[in-house]
Structure 1
Amino acid sequence: MSTRAAIRGFGRLLPALRPERRAMAGSYLVATASALGLAALSVLTAWAVGHAIVDRTPPGPVWWTAVIGLVLLRTVLTWQEMDVSHALAYRVLARLRMALFDAYARSVPARRREHSGRAAAVAMGDIEKLEFFYAHTVAQLGASLTVFLASFTAAAVLLPEAALVMFGGSALVAGTALCWAGAARRIGEREQRDRETLSARTVDALGALREVLGYGLAPRIVAEAAEATGRAAAVSCRRELLSRLSAGVREVIVTAVVIGVIAVSAAAAGVLSDTADARLSPAVLPALIALALAGVSAVTEAATTLTELHPLTASARRVADGVARPPVVSAPERPRRVPDGPLGVRFRGVSFSYDDRRPTLQGWSADVAPGEHVGLAGPSGAGKSTVVALAARLWDPSAGAVELVAADGTAVPVTGIDDEAFRDAVALVEQEARLFHGTLRDNLLRGTGPRPDAELREVLERVGAGGWIGLDEELGEGGVRLSGGQQARLCLARALVRRPRVLLVDEVTASLDPETERVVSEVIAGFDGTVLAASHRHETLAHFERVVHVQAPAPDSEPEKDRARHPARDGS
Structure 2
Amino acid sequence: MNTLSAFRAFRALLPVLRPEWRGMAWIYLLGTMSALGLAGLTVLTAWAVGHAVVERTPPGPLWWALVLGLVLLRVLLTWREMDVSHALAYRVLARLRMALFDAYARSVPGRRREHSGRAAAVAMDDIEKLEFFYAHTVAQLGASLTLFTASLVTASLLLPEAALVMLLGAAVVASSALYWARAARRLGEREQQERSDLSEHIVDALGALREVLAYGLAPRIIAETSAATARAATVAQRRELLSHLVTALRELVLTAVVIGVIATSATAAGVLSADVPVRLAPAELPALVALALVGIAAIVDATDTLTRLHPLVSGAERVAAGINRPPVVAVPRAPRPLPAGPLGLRFRDVSFSYEGRRPTLTSWSAGLAPGEHVGLVGPSGSGKSTVIALAARLWDPSAGTVELVTADGGGVPVADLDEAALREAVALVDQDATLFHGTVRDNLLRGCGPRSDGDLNALLERVEAAAWIGLDDELGEGGVRLSGGQRARLCLARALARRPRVLLVDEVTASLDPATERLVSDVIAQFHGTVLIASHRAETLARLERVVDVAAAPHAVRRPGG
Question: What's the TM-score bracket when you normalise by the shorter of the two chains?
Answer: over 0.9
AA paired with 2:416? G
Shift of 1:277: 2.5
AA aligned opposite 2:267: A
Q: State how far apart, in whole Å, the 2-side matches of 1:358 and 1:51 are.
A: 84
Q: Is structure 2 residue 405 aligned with structure 1 residue 429?
A: no
1:28 corresponding residue in structure 2:
28
State the distance in 1 between where 2:473 and 2:276 align. Answer: 92
Q: Which residue of 2 aligns with 1:564?
A: 557
**2:151 alignment partner AA:** S
Say whether residues 1:266 and 2:259 are aligned partners.
no
- Structure-1 residue corresponding to 2:408: 408
1:356 & 1:399 partners in 2: Cα distance?
Answer: 17
**Equivalent residues of 2:345, 2:370 under 8 A apart:** yes
Of residues 103-112 and 80-89 in structure 1, the stretch that sits farther from structure 2 once superposed is 80-89
Instruction: Look up the equivalent residue of 2:80 and give its one-letter code.
Output: Q
Residue aligning to 1:115: 115
Partner of 1:454: 454
Matched to 1:531, the amino acid is V
| 1:401 aligned partner, one-letter code | T
Q: Partner residue of 2:309?
A: 309
Give the partner amino acid of 2:364. W
SS at match of 2:396: coil
- Please, which runs of 5 or more residues in structure 2 have no aligned partner? none
CA-based RMSD? 0.8
- The amino acid across from 1:460 in the alignment is L
**Which SS does the other structure have where 1:88 is aligned?**
helix
Q: Distance in 2 between matches of 1:286 and 1:29?
A: 28
Counterpart residue number, 1:535: 535
* Corresponding position of 2:134: 134
* C-alpha distance in structure 2 between counterparts of 1:196 and 1:342, whole Å: 48
- Assess if the C-alpha contact under 8 Å between 2:545 and 2:560 holds in 1: no
2:517 match: 517
The one-letter amino acid of 2:35's match is: A
Determine the structure 2 residue equivalent to 1:186. Answer: 186
Partner of 1:481: 481
Give identity over the alignment, percent. Answer: 72
CA 1:363–1:52: 2 relative to 1, 3 Å = same
**For 1:567, what is the secondary structure of its paired residue?**
coil
- Per-residue deviation, 1:8: 0.3
For 1:493, the equivalent position in structure 2 comes to: 493
Cα distance in 2 for residues equivalent to 1:457 and 1:218 = 42
Q: 1:542-563 CA distances to partner (integer Å, 9 max, x unpaired)?
A: 11001000118xxxxxxx4111
Partner amino acid, structure 2, of 1:18: R
Tell me by how many angstroms 1:25 deviates. Answer: 0.8
How much has 1:356 moved relative to structure 2? 2.1
Match of 2:210 in 1: 210
Distance 1:313 1:378 in 2: 47
Q: Which amino acid aligns with 1:201?
A: H
Q: Name the aligned partner's letter for residue 559 of structure 2.
A: H
Residue aligned with 1:16, SS: coil
Task: Spell out, residue by residue over 1:345-374, the C-alpha distance to the aligned partner (whole angstroms, 9 max, x if none).
Answer: 000000000002100000000000001000
Q: Could you give the per-residue CA deviations for residues 386-440 of structure 1, whole angstroms, max 9, x where no partner exists?
A: 0000000000000000000110122110110111110011000001000000010
Q: Distance in 2 between matches of 1:270 and 1:197?
A: 64
Superposition map of 1:141-540 within 5 A:
141-275=141-275, 277-540=277-540
CA distance in 1, matches of 2:418, 2:337: 8
Q: Tell me how far apart the structure 1 counterparts of residues 247 and 276 of structure 2 sit (CA, whole Å).
A: 41
Q: Distance in 2 between matches of 1:111 and 1:449?
A: 30
Q: What is the alpha-carbon distance in structure 2 between the residues aligned to residue 565 and residue 314 of structure 1?
A: 54
Q: Which amino acid aligns with 1:466?
A: A
Letter in 2 for 1:564: V
| Deviation (angstroms), 1:152 | 0.4
**Counterpart check, 1:13 vs 2:22:** no
Structure 1 position 118, deviation (Å)? 0.5
Letter in 2 for 1:247: T
Q: How far apart, in 2, do the equivalents of 1:491 and 1:482 lie?
A: 12
Deviation at 1:460, TM superposition (A): 1.1
Counterpart residue identity of residue 567, structure 1: P
User: Aligned to 2:376, what secondary structure does the other structure show?
Assistant: strand
Partners of 2:268 and 2:276 within 8 A in 1: no
CA displacement at 1:449 relative to structure 2? 1.0
Task: Report how far residue 276 of structure 1 moved.
Answer: 6.6
* Matched residue SS, 2:346: strand
After superposition, the C-alpha distances for 1:243-268 in whole angstroms (9 at most, x for unaligned) are 00100100110000001001111111
What's 1:82 paired with? 82
- The 2-side partners of 1:472 and 1:454 are apart by 13
Describe the superposition over 1:423-464 as per-residue Cα deviations: whole angstroms up to 9, x where unpaired: 011000001000000010000000011101111111111111
Segments of structure 1 that go 5 or more residues without pairing to the other structure are 553-559
Residue 275 of structure 1: how far off its partner (Å):
2.9
Q: Secondary structure at the match of 2:17?
A: helix
Alpha-carbon distance between aligned partners in 1 of 2:239 and 2:282, rounded to the nearest angstrom = 45
Higher mean alpha-carbon deviation, 173-182 vs 239-248, is at 173-182
1:82-132: CA deviations, max 9, x gaps?
111111111111111001000111110111001000000000000111111
Residue identity in the other structure for 1:336: R
CA distance in 2, matches of 1:117, 1:276: 70
Q: Is the 2:23–2:88 Cα contact (8 Å) retained in structure 1?
A: yes
Distance (Å, rounded) in 2 between the aligned partners of 1:13 and 1:337: 34
Distance in 1 (alpha carbons) for counterparts of 2:417 and 2:475: 34
Indicate if the aligned counterparts of 2:127 and 2:319 stay in contact, CA closer than 8 A. yes
Bigger shift: 72-81 or 498-507? Answer: 72-81
Measure, in 2, the Cα distance between the counterparts of 1:526 and 1:69.
Answer: 78
Q: Deviations 1:183-205 (Å, cap 9, x if unpaired)?
A: 11110110111111110010010
Q: Distance in 2 between matches of 1:68 and 1:8?
A: 43
Q: What is the rounded CA distance, in whole Å, between the counterparts of 2:555 and 2:420 in structure 1?
A: 30
Q: Please name the residue that 1:557 is paired with.
A: none
Q: State the Cα deviation string for residues 523-554 of structure 1 (Å, max 9, x = none).
A: 001100000000011111111001000118xx
Instruction: Measure the CA separation in 1 of the matches of 2:274 and 2:365.
Output: 102
- In structure 1, give the amino acid aligned to 2:340: D
- Rounded Cα–Cα distance in structure 1 between residues aligned with 2:466 and 2:209: 32
